[in-house]
């Protein structure tokens, strides 16, 4: 059922998102119109690693200690269920990295689009991916900059540190491109594309596609009383007048640094448990970085209803893919283009993956040098499963 949260001022305090959802999720669900995927996220987070999902009993072969382990919910919005998925994803990406520097770019949508994204998340997120990727591919193909096919991985984030809407994609882009004749084109040292030129192209591509959706009449605006067509035309006019933001960092020196950095973004959820400070009957306190004021570390207090409402803004539509690959890494042609790129760079093919799926204990031992079967009580024996725990009904406080 999970322990009740304690005051964060105590030395042993530990507040989790699951605590907040179990205690207040039902009330928020009753007072708001939630989508099916939002209901499912709240249910999963509330039940994660509790009797509701069942589990198993393990016994130490040295000291005989019994350990009860409950199953994880595996929901992609749960902060406790991303570590294994992230490590497995990164392990697969290691075979795809090329021995070249990589650049990190961020494409951000103006906040004026937030209300449109609330009513049409799938459409707006898709346009964000398409506009950012098309811009990068176009610049990569331009002989003025590279003149070939780049390798790019894009990751969607919809939040800022204060849980507000901040729609952007992180892009990891190879510092070079594969020419049509098969040779590799290296980028200029420390430079990929001019961000001042990327921004208006990104804006133009996004708004052109958004204009088409407006003409189709399929978009909806939440909490707008005025005529939707008039409101959308006004929004388009406002967006054309704004300067859009594309940010670029210095390139990474090695593929290992790329993976370490990318791991911070790929499977991150809107808020991690370590940022939560205190939960009371009425509010939640959490840490955040104020990027608008020099990355200052601050503390924010929100009512529990507002906290959960903000969190639910970042629950993705069912089946929506938030990590996408383009150019050399595009799924349909990746095997052939990656082989061509490796040949052009003179680097060997990676070792083929083993035919038998790796067990969870073996995976953790290889990736983190951590033996998860080691008994936490005696630190000598190893745990072996001796029984199963059946699933139970969800906690009474879980949302309907």
- Side by side, which strands form the sheet with 102-108? 245-248, 102-108, 165-174, 151-159, 323-327
pLDDT digits (tens, 9 = 90+) for 248-279: 887 777 777 777 777 777 888 999 999 999 99
Q: Which two tokens stand for residue 158?
A: 């919809």
- Does residue 84 carry a pLDDT above 80? no
Q: Residue 325: left (phi > 0), alpha (psi -120 to 50), or beta? A: beta
Neighbours of 83 (CB within 10 A): 15
Instruction: Tell which phi-psi region holds residue 306, choosing left (phi > 0), alpha (psi between -120 and 50) or beta.
Output: alpha
Residues 137-177: tens digit of each pLDDT: 999 999 999 999 999 999 999 999 999 999 999 999 999 99
pLDDT at 33: 86
Is residue 226 predicted with pLDDT exceeding 70? no
Identify the three-state secondary structure at position 386.
Answer: strand
**Tell me: the pLDDT tens digits for 356-390?**
667 888 877 877 788 999 999 999 999 999 999 99
Q: Of the candidates 121, 327, 314, 106, which has an alpha carbon nearest to the alpha carbon of residue 202?
A: 106
Which contiguous run of DSSP H or E holds residue 177? strand 176-178
Q: Model confidence over 97-127: pLDDT tens digits?
A: 899 989 999 999 999 999 999 999 999 999 9
The least confident of 69-83, 277-291, 382-396 is: 382-396
The torsion defined by the Cα of 44, 45, 48 and 51, in degrees rounded to 10, comes to: -70
Say what angle helices 360-368 and 83-94 make with each other, to 10 degrees: 70
- Computed over every residue of the chain, the mean pLDDT equals 88
Within 200-348, strands assigned E span 245-248, 276-279, 283-290, 296-303, 323-327
Residues 6 or more apart in contact with residue 240 via CB below 8 angstroms: 203, 207
Q: Which residues of 196-235 are buried (b: 16+ CB within 10 A; e: fewer)?
A: eebbebbbebbbebbeebbeeeebebeeeeeeeeebbeeb
Measure the CA–CA gap between 19 and 11, rounded to whole angstroms: 18
Q: How far apart (Å, rounded) are the C-alpha atoms in residues 226 and 318?
A: 30
Q: Is-above-0.85 flag for pTM?
A: yes
What pLDDT, on the 0 to 100 scale, is given for residue 355?
A: 58
Q: What is the pLDDT of residues 141-151, one digit of tens each?
A: 999 999 999 99
CB 259 within 8 A of CB 279: no
Instruction: Give the pLDDT of residue 13.
Output: 53
Query: In sequence order, which ranges of 95-194 are alpha helices (DSSP H)?
Result: 114-119, 121-141
Confidence at residue 316, expressed as pLDDT on a 0 to 100 scale: 97
């Amino acid at each position: 059922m999970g322990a009740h949260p304690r005051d964060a001022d105590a030395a042993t305090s530990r507040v989790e998102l699951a605590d907040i959802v179990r205690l207040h999720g039902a009330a928020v669900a009753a007072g708001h119109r939630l989508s099916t995927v939002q209901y499912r996220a709240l249910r999963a987070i509330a039940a994660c690693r509790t009797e509701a999902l069942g589990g198993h009993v393990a016994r130490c072969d040295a000291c005989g200690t019994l350990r009860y382990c409950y199953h994880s919910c595996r929901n992609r919005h749960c902060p406790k269920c991303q570590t294994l998925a992230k490590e497995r994803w990164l392990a697969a990406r290691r075979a795809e990295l090329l021995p070249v520097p990589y650049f990190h770019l961020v494409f951000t949508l103006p906040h004026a689009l937030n209300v449109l994204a609330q009513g049409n998340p799938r459409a707006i997120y898709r346009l964000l991916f398409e506009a950012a990727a098309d811009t990068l591919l176009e610049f990569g193909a331009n002989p003025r900059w590279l003149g070939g096919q780049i390798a790019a991985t894009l990751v969607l984030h919809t939040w800022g540190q204060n849980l507000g809407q901040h729609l952007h994609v992180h892009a990891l882009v190879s510092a070079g491109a594969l020419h049509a004749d098969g040779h590799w084109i290296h980028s200029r040292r420390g430079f990929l594309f001019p961000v001042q030129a990327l921004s208006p192209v990104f804006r133009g591509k996004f708004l052109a596609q958004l204009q088409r959706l407006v003409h189709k009449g399929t978009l909806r605006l939440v909490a707008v009383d005025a005529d939707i067509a008039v409101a959308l035309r006004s929004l388009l006019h406002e967006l054309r007048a704004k300067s859009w933001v594309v940010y670029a960092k210095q390139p990474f020196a090695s593929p290992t640094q790329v993976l370490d950095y990318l791991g911070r973004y790929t499977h991150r959820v809107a808020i991690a448990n370590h940022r939560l400070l205190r939960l009371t009957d009425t509010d939640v306190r959490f840490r955040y970085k104020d990027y608008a004021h020099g990355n200052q570390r601050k503390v924010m207090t929100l009512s529990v209803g507002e906290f959960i409402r903000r969190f639910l803004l970042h629950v993705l539509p069912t089946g929506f893919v938030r990590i996408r690959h383009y150019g050399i890494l595009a799924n349909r042609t990746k095997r052939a283009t990656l082989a061509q790129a490796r040949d052009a760079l003179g680097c060997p093919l990676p070792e083929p993956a083993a035919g038998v799926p790796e067990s969870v204990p073996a995976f953790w031992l290889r990736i983190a040098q951590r033996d998860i079967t080691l008994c936490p009580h005696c630190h000598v024996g190893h745990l072996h499963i001796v029984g199963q725990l059946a699933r139970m009904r969800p906690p009474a406080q879980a949302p309907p």
